[in-house]
């Protein structure tokens, strides 16, 4: 029988499997949860600045506090995931986790930037800063456990899954594009282009309001999929024996996913190595070092980012097509090599301009800014594709674990990854603050107008390009041991479909026997 082909948003039965699909509006609105998390992530990027200016804490001490808080936050992920998997209320659970998490996270941000900043210092400053960050982290985790499940359960169609990641990444990159323009072009000029306490307080209020709108959109988008039937598991093990209807999830299941699932291990290595570099480079203190000190123009840098991100977001959908055609594994390898090449060329270009003094040529209109824009565009586009592969791998690993162990654990897979991710990427704040301290910023933070030096230049190159290169090299190595290529995933979906038919046949037979006895 000839295999049927179908478009991205139509019902289909390919490869001998009838896939579960989602409507286009559901995909677009449901993935808005990525934007909610991105807003909080952007706002907490000012934590180093507000810790120093608003609570009187030394820069390096702030980095240590943030690192310890993120490690503690990682411990919360398994606990939230276990609760999520063990409950299945009548009216769903994704929305409950998203709303409660958003509320706690928003209160933590308000405490950091609006309520307590500038009002306490000393020991009380450390206590209030830590409390605000812990509330932010707790809320972020609760929201993420619920929201992160959406991308896995909304569809298992191998051509739609890359598109869910692509749509999610549009929020992840589009939201920063909107909000950084708001900050750079509207808020910062009101405060003489200085990242001071009033500026950060106003930014926080804008960001929370924006995230609330995205939260409402996400809640509407997941309404249809957030129901008990979505989380029902196959009541049949690999051996063909009937399983208990109620899935019991304990810490043991989480450890088994990490210990026995090689695909999960490689997925973690690939994602976490990239995240550490991203977490470090996204710190506002590093943005100031590169764009404020070396380039010397926030506006010019923002214009470059606008062009590169705008084109990159469009290119992101091509990344979805790459994944649909090649699979997440092959796409990860190819685009990791492309990313390495672009980063190396960018470093050489900055050296060609003259290093610390020459990079200021990027801050004025001319050939250097055009070349830098093209390189930034290429880097952004490649990063978009790799972002899409991360989401596709997570969904594939979830289904593979379902086939391997008989446990459907989307939140557990997400939280296990998140636990390791946070434990490692928590070093981002410490790496950033530690590195800038090495070039002279021990009790202060970089500001526009500071003298650009060679130590600052090389530190900037290392944080913006060197760390990511190391991460991309790890991508290539880990993918050699990742078994879930495109062909393997077709096999996984076929196996799950066959087991579902067996369960339905067994239940029909049991119902018939019960009827005959009656």
Fold classification of 29-219+250-492 (topology level) = Growth Hormone; Chain: A; (1.20.1250)
Residue 454 pLDDT: 92
64, HSE (Cβ side, Cα atoms, 13 Å): 7
Give 13's DSSP letter: E
Closest CA to 86 of 227, 247, 211, 316: 247
For range 182-188, the mean pLDDT: 91
Q: Would you list the DSSP string of 20-86? A: ----HHHHHHHTTHHHHHHHHHHHHTTHHHHHHHHH---HHHHHHHHHHHHHHHHHHHHHHHHHHHH
Mean pLDDT to the nearest integer, 45-61: 89
- Give the list of residues 6+ apart from residue 284 with CB closer than 8 angstroms, or none: 45, 46, 48, 49, 195
Q: pLDDT averaged over the chain?
A: 82
Is the pLDDT score of 10 beyond 50?
Answer: no
Q: How far is CA 40 from CA 48, 417, 431, in A?
A: 15, 20, 21
Range from 181-185, 247-251, 324-328 that averages highest in pLDDT: 181-185
Q: Model confidence at 250, in pLDDT bands (50, 70, 90)?
A: low
DSSP state letters, 434-445 = HHHHHTT-SSS-
- Whether residue 238 has pLDDT greater than 60: no
Position 201 confidence tier, pLDDT thresholds 50, 70, 90: very high
As a whole number, mean pLDDT of residues 234-242 equals: 48
Torsion angle in degrees (nearest 10) through CA of 70, 218, 87, 257:
-50
- Closest to 387 in 3D by CA, of 168, 152, 178: 168
Q: Nearest 5°: CA angle at 248, between 243 and 254?
A: 115
pLDDT at 506 over 90: no
Higher pLDDT, 372 or 444: 372
Which pLDDT score is estimated for 11?
A: 38
Q: Is the pLDDT of residue 112 over 90?
A: yes
Q: Which of 302-306, 330-334, 356-360 has the lowest mean pLDDT?
A: 302-306
C-alpha angle 9/14/19, rounded to 5°? 60
Least confident of 196-200, 297-301, 343-347: 297-301
Closest CA to 506 of 228, 237, 248: 237
What is the average per-residue pLDDT within 498-514?
74
Interval 64-74 mean pLDDT: 77
- Please say if the pLDDT value at position 108 is more than 50: yes
The pLDDT of residue 248 is: 59
Cα–Cα distance for residue pair 345/340, rounded to 1 Å = 9
User: Is the predicted pLDDT of residue 143 greater than 80, yes or no?
Assistant: yes
DSSP for 371-408? Answer: HHHHHHHHHHHHHHHHHHHHHHHHHHHHHHHHHHHS--
Q: Which of 295-299, 305-309, 365-369, 488-492 is predicted least confidently?
A: 305-309
Kindly report the number of other CB atoms within 10 A of residue 151's CB atom.
Answer: 25
- Say which residue, 512 or 333, is predicted with more confidence: 333
Q: What is the pLDDT of residue 426?
A: 65
Query: What's the rounded mean pLDDT across residues 302-323?
Result: 77
Is residue 337 scored above 80 in pLDDT? yes
- Which of the given ranges, 147-151, 491-495, 513-517, has the highest pLDDT on average? 491-495
Residues of the chain above pLDDT 70, percent = 89
Name the residue with higher pLDDT: 306 or 421. Answer: 306
- For residue 213, what pLDDT is reported? 96
User: Does position 307 have pLDDT exceeding 90, yes or no?
Assistant: no
Please report, for the chain, how many H helices and E strands are present, in that order.
Answer: 20, 2
Residue 25 burial (CB count, 10 A): 11
Nearest residue to 147 (alpha-carbon basis) of 400, 327, 394: 394
List all residues 6 or more positions away from 272 whose beta carbon is below 8 Å from its beta carbon: 417, 420, 421, 424, 425
């Amino acid at each position: 029988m000839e295999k049927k082909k179908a478009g991205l948003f139509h019902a289909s039965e390919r490869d001998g499997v009838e896939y579960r699909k989602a409507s286009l509006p559901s995909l677009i609105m449901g993935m808005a949860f990525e934007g909610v998390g991105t807003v909080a992530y952007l706002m907490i990027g000012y934590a180093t600045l507000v810790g120093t200016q608003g609570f009187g804490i030394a820069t390096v001490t702030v980095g240590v506090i943030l690192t310890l808080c993120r490690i503690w936050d990682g411990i919360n992920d398994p606990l939230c995931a276990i609760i999520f998997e063990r409950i299945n209320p009548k009216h769903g659970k994704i929305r409950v986790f998203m709303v409660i998490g958003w509320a706690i996270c928003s209160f933590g941000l308000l405490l950091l930037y609006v309520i307590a900043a500038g009002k306490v210092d000393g020991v009380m400053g450390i206590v209030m800063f830590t409390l605000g960050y812990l509330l932010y982290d707790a809320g972020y985790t609760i929201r993420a456990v619920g929201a992160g499940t959406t991308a896995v359960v909304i569809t298992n169609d191998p051509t739609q899954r890359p598109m869910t990641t692509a749509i999610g990444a549009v929020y992840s990159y589009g939201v920063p594009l909107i909000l950084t323009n708001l900050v750079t072009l509207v808020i910062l000029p009101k405060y003489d282009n200085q990242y001071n306490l009033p500026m950060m307080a106003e930014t926080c209020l804008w960001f929370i309001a924006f995230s609330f709108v995205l939260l409402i959109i996400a809640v509407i988008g997941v309404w249809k999929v957030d129901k008990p039937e979505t989380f029902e598991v196959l009541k049949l093990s690999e051996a063909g024996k009937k399983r208990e209807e109620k899935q019991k999830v304990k810490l043991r299941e989480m450890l088994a996913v990490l210990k026995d699932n090689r695909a999960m291990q490689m997925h973690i290595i690939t994602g976490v190595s990239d995240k550490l570099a991203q977490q470090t480079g996204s710190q506002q203190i590093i943005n100031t070092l590169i764009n404020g000190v070396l380039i010397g123009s926030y506006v010019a840098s923002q214009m470059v980012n606008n062009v590169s991100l705008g084109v990159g977001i469009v290119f992101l959908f091509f990344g979805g097509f790459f994944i649909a055609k090649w699979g997440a594994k092959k796409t990860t390898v190819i685009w990791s090599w492309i990313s390495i090449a672009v980063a190396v060329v960018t470093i050489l270009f900055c050296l060609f301009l003259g290093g610390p003094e020459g990079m200021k040529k990027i801050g004025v209109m001319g050939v250097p800014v055009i070349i830098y824009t093209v390189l930034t565009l290429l880097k952004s586009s490649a990063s978009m594709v790799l972002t899409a592969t991360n989401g596709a791998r997570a969904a594939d690993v979830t289904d593979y674990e379902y086939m391997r162990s008989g446990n459907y654990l989307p939140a557990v897979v997400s939280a296990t990854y998140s636990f390791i991710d946070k434990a490692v990427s928590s070093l981002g704040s410490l790496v950033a603050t530690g590195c800038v301290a090495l070039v002279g910023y021990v009790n202060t933070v970089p500001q526009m107008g500071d003298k650009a030096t060679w130590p600052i230049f090389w530190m900037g190159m290392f944080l913006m390009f060197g760390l990511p290169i190391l991460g991309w090299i790890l991508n290539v190595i880990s993918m050699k041991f990742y078994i879930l290529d495109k062909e393997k995933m077709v096999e996984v979906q076929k196996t799950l479909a066959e087991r579902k038919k067996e369960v339905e046949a067994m239940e029909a037979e049991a119902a018939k026997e019960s009827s005959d006895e009656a």
